[in-house]
């Protein structure tokens, strides 16, 4: 169905609003965010073009789209080069009680068929809920498109009453992963403090709270108990880097 003039005008305003934001972010050297806005704005402007019948307006829109596409391509090449040089850095701030930050939502875009080995450094894989967090993370890793064969976990050893729970829990996860042809290598250190996750395709993610950034569910039958996209989070910061070569922790 052809769109009315009002609908096209509304779409045009939305497109140029997003593109204006893209230019602002671009001028502030916030290139990753700028690229997202360029792509979204160009897509909206393409929809306006398809619904425009006036040839003069169509010609003008094509020139504008070409200009924005050229700039977006320059930004994309710059970001690709930064990744190649190991200088890429993106930061995500998770606000207190924010939702929509399951492991899949946070990590999926950095996982592809080239990921065969993962290094996890997190001092707090001890308590029951932390073991379940690690298990959920492992479940994500064995799904397509990943072809993970080895997972390295460096954590601290619980020397208190939870030592047996930690040991048996990680052993069960290790045995379960073996059923999927995945090796879990465990290493303990009393001096480990940093939290970071590395994939052998060059991506490195540092989360201020490690994997333990979800809040406790309100009850066993509250939304977010199973679907972690609906689970409120603690405030934390996620820093994402890309290195040419990922070294073993």
Alpha helix ranges (H) inside 28-98? 31-51, 55-85
Determine what percent of the chain is predicted with pLDDT higher than 90. Answer: 71
**92: three-class secondary structure by DSSP:** strand
Q: Using alpha carbons, select from 95, 125, 92, 94 the residue that is nearest to residue 109.
A: 92
Cβ proximity of 118 and 198 under 8 Å: yes
Determine what percent of the chain is predicted with pLDDT higher than 70. Answer: 94
Mean pLDDT of the chain: 90
Structure confidence by residue, pLDDT tens digits, 94-108: 999 999 999 999 999
Least trusted range by pLDDT, from 78-87, 185-194, 219-228, 239-248: 239-248
Neighbours of 118 (CB within 10 A): 24
Q: For position 246, what pLDDT does the model report?
A: 40
Least trusted range by pLDDT, from 20-29, 120-129, 205-214, 223-232: 20-29
Determine the CATH number of domain 2-85.
1.20.58.80
Residue 90 or 231, more confident: 231
Strand order across the 196-199 sheet: 88-94, 236-242, 203-207, 196-199, 117-121, 150-155, 183-188
Give the rounded distance of the alpha carbon of 15 from its chain centre: 25
What is the CA angle 11-37-88, rounded to 5? 170
Alpha helix ranges (H) inside 99-238? 103-107, 128-141, 163-178
Determine the CATH number of domain 89-242.
3.30.870.30
Residue ranges of domains in the chain? 2-85, 89-242
Q: Using alpha carbons, select from 83, 85, 82, 44 the residue that is nearest to residue 61.
A: 44
Structure confidence by residue, pLDDT tens digits, 116-162: 999 999 999 999 999 999 999 999 999 988 899 999 999 999 988 88
CA distance 145 to 126: 29
Q: For position 3, what pLDDT does the model report?
A: 52
């Amino acid at each position: 169905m052809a769109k009315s003039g009002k609908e096209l005008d509304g779409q045009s305003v939305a497109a140029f609003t997003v593109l204006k934001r893209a230019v602002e972010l671009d001028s502030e050297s916030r290139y990753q965010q700028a690229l997202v806005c360029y792509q979204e704005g160009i897509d909206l402007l393409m929809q306006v073009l398809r619904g425009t019948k006036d040839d003069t307006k169509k010609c003008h829109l094509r020139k504008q789209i070409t200009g924005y596409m050229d700039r977006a391509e320059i930004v994309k090449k710059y970001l690709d080069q930064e990744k190649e040089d190991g200088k890429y850095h993106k930061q995500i701030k998770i606000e207190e009680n924010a939702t929509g930050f399951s492991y899949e939502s946070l990590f999926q875009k950095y996982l592809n068929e080239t990921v065969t080995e993962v290094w996890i450094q997190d001092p707090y894989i001890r308590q029951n809920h932390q073991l379940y967090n690690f298990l959920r993370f492992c479940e994500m890793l064995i799904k397509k498109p990943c072809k993970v064969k080895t997972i390295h976990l460096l954590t601290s050893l619980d020397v208190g009453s939870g030592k047996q729970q930690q040991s048996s829990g990680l052993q069960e996860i290790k045995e379960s992963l073996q059923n999927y042809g995945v090796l879990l290598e465990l290493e303990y250190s009393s001096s480990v403090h940093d939290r970071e996750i590395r994939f052998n395709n060059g991506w490195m993610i540092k989360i201020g709270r490690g994997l333990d950034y979800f809040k406790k569910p309100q009850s066993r039958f509250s939304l977010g108990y199973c679907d972690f996209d609906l689970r409120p989070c603690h405030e934390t910061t996620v820093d994402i880097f890309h290195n040419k070569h990922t070294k073993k922790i």
